């Protein structure tokens, strides 16, 4: 049984509309299908010609969408074979753009997060320079890899991005943004340094200086969406970047 793509989602691009280009709509539609589980990891998409016909688009436009998805790492394209969904729920869930790994490199157990508090607040001074709204959702949480507590985290979702239902947050915040608010985080900048733990932290690390990550994240429309600060235990975790 081959998965049938929805056709409904595509909007007309008239001269007065501000809708996304068709190839981006297609890419987002497929991303949604993956994120919501209707397309499983490893599954093969229909052949390009068939899919293009089903979606009522040309091969070229579909290929542009598939190229975008491949660049985002959501599918793998194999010449002569097909297009395959590449979705690691665990990574996409807690890691997301995040790249904290256990120092010993193992840490293949389940990443977990525990929310300490989640409230809609006026922004504090530390984040006042970020975003368009003067309020936002502040989430504070602890993070584990396997059974090791590795980080303390404070996340601000800008008020202009919408207001989260804080009661139903999951470990996969970025997916929550997408599902609850239709906000897709498309780009981010991480700055890594050293800082002491915040006073509100309910836990302490073995040393009094922690690794410190400031992240700013933007939507695909270029709007600032999220600002987060993460203090990680240098005895337990490292921040990893794989280049190229």
Cα(134)–Cα(70) distance, rounded to whole angstroms? 37
The reply on whether position 83 binds DNA by CB under 7 A is yes
Q: Of the candidates 7, 99, 85, which has an alpha carbon nearest to the alpha carbon of residue 39?
A: 85
Q: Of the candidates 128, 93, 124, 123, which has an alpha carbon nearest to the alpha carbon of residue 111?
A: 93
Residue 234: DSSP 8-state: T
The reply on whether position 80 binds its own copies by CB under 8 A is no
- For helices 59-71 and 22-35, give the axis angle rounded to 10 degrees: 50
Place of tokens 């602890």: 142
Partner whose footprint covers residue 117, from DNA, its own copies, none (CB < 5 to 8 Å by kind): none
Tokens describing residue 44:
């093969």
Tokens describing residue 181:
């608010």
Residue among 15, 168, 189, 193 that touches DNA (CB under 7 A): 15
Please say whether the beta carbons of 97 and 155 come within 8 A: no
Rounded (10°) CA dihedral 35, 41, 43, 44: 80
Residue among 59, 78, 121, 194 that touches its own copies (CB under 8 A): 194
The reply on whether position 86 binds DNA by CB under 7 A is no
The reply on whether position 73 binds DNA by CB under 7 A is no
Q: CB of 81: closest distance to DNA in angstroms?
A: 4
Partner whose footprint covers residue 191, from its own copies, DNA, none (CB < 5 to 8 Å by kind): its own copies
Site for DNA in 18-47 (CB under 7 A): 21-24, 45, 47
Residue 44: DSSP 8-state: B
Residue 168: DSSP 8-state: G
Q: CB of 73: closest distance to DNA in angstroms?
A: 14
Q: CB of 20: closest distance to its own copies in angstroms?
A: 15
Please say whether the beta carbons of 100 and 232 come within 8 A: yes
Q: CB of 213: closest distance to its own copies in angstroms?
A: 9
Q: CB of 218: closest distance to DNA in angstroms?
A: 17
Partner whose footprint covers residue 22, from DNA, its own copies, none (CB < 5 to 8 Å by kind): DNA
Q: Which residues bind DNA (CB under 7 A)?
A: 13, 15, 21-24, 45, 47-49, 56-61, 63-64, 66, 77-83
Interface positions with its own copies (CB under 8 A): 71-72, 97, 99, 101, 103, 186-195, 207, 209-211, 214, 234, 237-244
């Amino acid at each position: 049984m081959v998965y049938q793509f929805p056709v409904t989602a595509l909007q007309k691009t008239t001269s007065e509309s501000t809708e996304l280009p068709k190839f981006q709509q297609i890419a987002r539609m497929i991303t949604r299908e993956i994120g919501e589980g209707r397309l499983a990891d490893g599954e093969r998409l229909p052949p390009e010609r068939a899919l293009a016909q089903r979606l009522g688009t040309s091969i070229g436009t579909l290929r542009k969408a598939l190229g975008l998805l491949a660049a985002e790492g959501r599918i793998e394209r194999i010449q002569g074979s097909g297009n395959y969904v590449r979705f690691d729920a665990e990574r996409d869930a807690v890691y997301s753009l995040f790249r904290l790994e256990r120092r010993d490199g193992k840490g293949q157990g389940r990443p977990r997060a525990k929310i300490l508090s989640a409230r809609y607040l006026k922004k504090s001074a530390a984040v006042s320079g970020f975003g368009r709204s003067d309020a936002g959702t502040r989430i504070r949480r602890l993070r584990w890899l396997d059974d090791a507590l590795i980080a303390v985290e404070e996340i601000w979702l800008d008020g202009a991005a919408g207001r989260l239902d804080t009661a139903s947050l999951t470990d996969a915040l970025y997916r929550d943004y997408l599902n609850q608010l239709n906000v897709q985080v498309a780009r981010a900048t991480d700055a890594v340094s050293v800082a002491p733990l915040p006073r509100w932290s309910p836990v302490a690390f073995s040393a009094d200086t922690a690794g410190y990550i400031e992240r700013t994240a933007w939507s695909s429309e270029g709007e600032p969406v999220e600002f987060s600060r993460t203090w990680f235990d240098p005895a337990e975790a490292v921040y990893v970047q794989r280049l190229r």
